[in-house]
Amino acid sequence: MKCIIIDDEPFAIDLLRTYVEKTDSLELAGTFSNPVKAHSFLIKNNIDLVFLDINMPELTGIQLIKSLTHCPLIIFTTAYSEYGVESYEYNVADYLLKPIRYDRFLKAITKAGEIFQKSRAIKINSVEVSATPQSEEILLNIKSGSKVHRVGTGSIIYVEASGNYMIFHTVQEKIMSLLTMKEAIDLLPKESFARIHKSYIVSLAAIETIERHQVTIKGVRLPVGSSYRELFLSKI
């Protein structure tokens, strides 16, 4: 797991850095004594796990979590036990009281690792969905014949039914996979994709023009079925 440490105490950062560096399952991407700078870093970078102090100036750990649209896994590190109950309202992986022992640190990492692995790989028939908790884009491993194509959902512009197959039209290529329409719908994020016809699912972000009976994506006109129009337009 790629992680960062956020704490306004240099000694606490040094101790956690030592623990992270001797734990094979962790990769340290940075340390921050300023929570505001850490907030900016989290917005711009994909991080799996944050060791986060709660009681900090300018921005508390809990305020930082609340300000993030997509939050990584959190392990709170604090000297104040009274925050324990409140911290679990934010779905944190664990809560470590300072001074932190390495054996207790490893227990927290084990818990975080189990959560991370469950969220990272969900296998559905011929498609494996991989995602980190903070990621907006889901990574699909789409099986096509003897090959597996790794495709981010952000690059898929529309999906087309063709017999017993689904064709994933991406910005780079077309990928045919042995899936049903329902299986394809279940794989794609509902907030980013919509079914517009018995044979088509579209990326809402890829639509260029909308007419009553059709939409245009990359110059391709796709029909909008009457039974799907109302729900599709409500999403738009």
Instruction: Count the neighbouring beta carbons within 10 Å of the beta carbon of residue 67.
Output: 13
Among the ranges 102-111, 182-191, 208-217, which has the highest mean pLDDT value? 102-111
Q: Supply the pLDDT for residue 23.
A: 94
Distance in angstroms (rounded) separating the CA atoms of residues 31 and 194: 40
**Going by C-beta distance under 8 Å and a sequence separation of 6 or more, which residues neighbour residue 215?**
196, 202, 207, 208, 209, 221, 222, 224
Q: Which amino acid is at 149?
A: H
Statement: residue 153 has pLDDT above 80: yes
**Going by C-beta distance under 8 Å and a sequence separation of 6 or more, which residues neighbour residue 190?**
none
Of the candidates 136, 138, 114, the one whose C-alpha atom is nearest the C-alpha of residue 128 is 138
Statement: residue 198 has pLDDT above 80: yes
Options 1.10.287.610, 2.40.50.1020, 3.30.70.2860, 1.20.140.10; CATH for 123-235 is 2.40.50.1020
CA angle 153-155-159, nearest 5°?
70
Options 3.40.50.2300, 3.40.190.10, 3.40.50.80, 3.30.70.2660; CATH for 2-120 is 3.40.50.2300
Of the candidates 71, 115, 122, the one whose C-alpha atom is nearest the C-alpha of residue 94 is 115
Q: Supply the pLDDT for residue 235.
A: 85
Judge contact between 7 and 13, C-beta under 8 A: yes
SS3 of residue 51 by DSSP: strand
Distance in angstroms (rounded) separating the CA atoms of residues 222 and 158: 9
Average pLDDT over residues 213-236: 91
In the chain, residues under CATH classification 2.40.50.1020 are 123-235
Q: Supply the pLDDT for residue 223.
A: 95
In the chain, residues under CATH classification 3.40.50.2300 are 2-120
Instruction: Give me the sheet containing 139-144, strands edge to edge.
Output: 122-124, 127-130, 139-144, 147-152
Q: Supply the pLDDT for residue 123.
A: 40
**H helix runs in the chain, sequence order:** 10-21, 35-44, 61-67, 84-87, 102-120, 181-187, 226-235
Q: Supply the pLDDT for residue 133.
A: 43
SS3 of residue 80 by DSSP: coil
Is the bond preceding residue 99 a cis peptide, omega within 30 degrees?
yes
Report helix, strand and coil shares of the chain as percent, to nearest 5: 35, 35, 30
Tell me: the pLDDT tens digits for 9-47? 999 999 999 999 999 999 999 999 999 999 999 988 889
Tell me: the pLDDT tens digits for 79-125? 876 655 455 556 688 889 999 999 999 999 999 998 887 765 444 44
pTM of the shown model: 0.52
